[in-house]
């Protein structure tokens, strides 16, 4: 009987130690960053830059897994259904963490309750470009024409509810004008029609738009951020033009399930700080027009919470819903 009691006590002690040991040994196997989008684009680019430095910072292996579909819903939901053990990370961005709350009334997850941030890495502005032969050469002139000619101005995007669509639709709503949305399957397809003079405008991620702006193939009208962008400092912000008080930057970072052990979250946050402090990472983001972020956990939480509330109202006011 005594031996049985002793064996039971030892078993209970070992069971209690196992989770703690697992946290101490983490990571003991490869970590996945789930990207809720396909190869290329802001989500994928950010994930691969982060993964390249996050692995060494954690003394482990970090791989990127693309899980596109249903906007960003499939990949995000896949992480929510994975064990909260720190081995499945979510590449979270403005789109799947903040905008989806306003786009989908019956969203399958609550970003504030279901996920916690392990650190934001970068943010990009959007740049509004026009076809070169558009008679209106400034945003103010374009809005004035649109006000007198409802639905005559067309704008492209990579689909309903995407950042390109939202940036332009919200700007138009704030300016009280009507424009015609033309969705495409890809930015490349949209640009074909802009370069061909068949579509007037597109609000694209600055990292993608900057090459076409520099080559003179499209004309820049404004950027969506509150501050001008170093990659094209002569382009005004939307707010500067007086057309609308737009403040939009698309940010990306690492998120984990809220139930992830605090010790693992702390390790991830420390590793993410190493990543964003790395001069090579800063230089890479700079080259693409990105702004490396150096936020505390509290600052990140405030940014995310404020963006969720702000964009939910803006999307509702503009009548924008996901497909």
pLDDT level of residue 12 (50, 70, 90 thresholds)? low
* Higher-scoring residue by pLDDT: 185, 271: 271
* Higher-scoring residue by pLDDT: 123, 2: 123
Mean pLDDT for the chain? 92
pLDDT level of residue 207 (50, 70, 90 thresholds)? confident
HSE-CB of 261 using CA atoms within 13 angstroms: 15
State the residue range of the domain holding 37.
31-124+249-318
C-alpha separations of 108 from 79, 80, 111, 114, 117 in Å: 12, 9, 10, 10, 18
pLDDT tens-digit profile of 153-191? 999 998 888 889 999 999 999 999 999 999 988 888 899
Residues 159 and 68 in one domain: no
Task: Look at the chain and report how many structural domains it folds into.
Answer: 2
pLDDT of 81 reads 96
pLDDT of 323 reads 73
Would 10 be classed as within a structural domain?
A: no
Indicate whether 292 pLDDT > 90: yes
pLDDT level of residue 89 (50, 70, 90 thresholds)? very high
Residues 76 and 134 in one domain: no
Question: Are residues 269 and 58 in contact, defined by beta-carbon separation less than 8 angstroms?
Answer: no
Among 241, 269, 295, the domain boundary falls at 241
CATH of the domain at 131: 3.40.190.10
> What DSSP designation does 99 have?
I
C-alpha separations of 281 from 42, 77, 94, 182, 278 in Å: 15, 28, 20, 35, 5
Alpha-carbon distance 275 to 323, whole Å? 35
Would 198 be classed as within a structural domain?
A: yes
Among 241, 267, 285, the domain boundary falls at 241
Locate 175 and state its tokens.
Answer: 């300016």
Among 189, 208, 241, the domain boundary falls at 241
Residues 58 and 75 in one domain: yes
DSSP string, 146-171: HHHSTTTSEEEESSTTSHHHHHHHHH
Residues 198 and 227 in one domain: yes
pLDDT level of residue 4 (50, 70, 90 thresholds)? low
Residues 152 and 168 in one domain: yes
- Highest mean pLDDT pick, 38-52, 111-125, 200-214: 111-125
Would 8 be classed as within a structural domain?
A: no
Would 214 be classed as within a structural domain?
A: yes
CATH of the domain at 299: 3.40.190.150
pLDDT of 262 reads 97
Backbone torsions φ then ψ of 212, nearest 5 degrees: -70, -35
pLDDT of 70 reads 83
Would 118 be classed as within a structural domain?
A: yes
Would 24 be classed as within a structural domain?
A: no
* Cis? peptide before 27, omega within 30° of 0: yes
Would 3 be classed as within a structural domain?
A: no
pLDDT of 40 reads 73
Locate 136 and state its tokens.
Answer: 């209106």
Locate 38 and state its tokens.
Answer: 């396909």
């Amino acid at each position: 009987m005594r031996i049985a009691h002793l064996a039971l006590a030892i078993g209970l002690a070992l069971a209690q130690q196992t989770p703690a040991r697992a946290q101490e040994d983490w990571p003991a196997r490869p970590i996945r960053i789930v990207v809720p989008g396909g190869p290329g684009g802001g989500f994928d680019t950010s994930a691969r830059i982060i993964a390249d430095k996050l692995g060494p910072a954690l003394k482990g292996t970090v791989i990127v897994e693309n899980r596109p579909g249903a906007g960003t819903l499939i990949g995000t939901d896949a992480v929510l259904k994975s064990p909260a053990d720190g081995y499945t990370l979510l590449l979270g961005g403005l789109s799947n963490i903040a905008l989806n709350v306003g786009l989908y009334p019956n969203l399958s997850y609550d970003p504030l309750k279901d996920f916690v941030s392990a650190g934001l890495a970068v943010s990009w502005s959007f740049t509004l470009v026009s076809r070169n032969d558009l008679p209106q050469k400034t945003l103010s002139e374009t809005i004035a024409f649109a006000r007198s000619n409802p639905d005559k101005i067309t704008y492209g995007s990579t689909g309903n509810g995407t950042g390109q669509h939202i940036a332009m639709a919200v700007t138009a709503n704030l300016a009280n004008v009507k424009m015609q949305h033309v969705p495409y399957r890809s930015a490349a397809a949209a640009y074909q029609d802009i370069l061909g003079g068949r579509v007037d405008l597109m609000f694209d991620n600055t990292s993608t738009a900057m090459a076409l702006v520099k080559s003179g193939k499209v004309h820049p009208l404004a950027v969506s951020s509150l501050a001008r962008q170093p990659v094209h400092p002569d382009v005004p912000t939307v707010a500067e033009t007086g057309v609308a008080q737009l403040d939009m930057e698309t940010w990306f970072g690492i998120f984990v399930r809220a139930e992830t052990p605090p010790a693992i979250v702390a390790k991830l946050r420390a590793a993410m700080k190493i990543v964003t402090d790395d001069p090579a990472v800063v230089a890479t983001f700079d080259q693409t027009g990105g702004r490396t972020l150096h936020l505390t956990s509290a600052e990140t939480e405030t940014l995310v919470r404020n963006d969720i509330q702000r964009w939910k109202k803006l999307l509702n006011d503009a009548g924008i819903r996901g497909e």
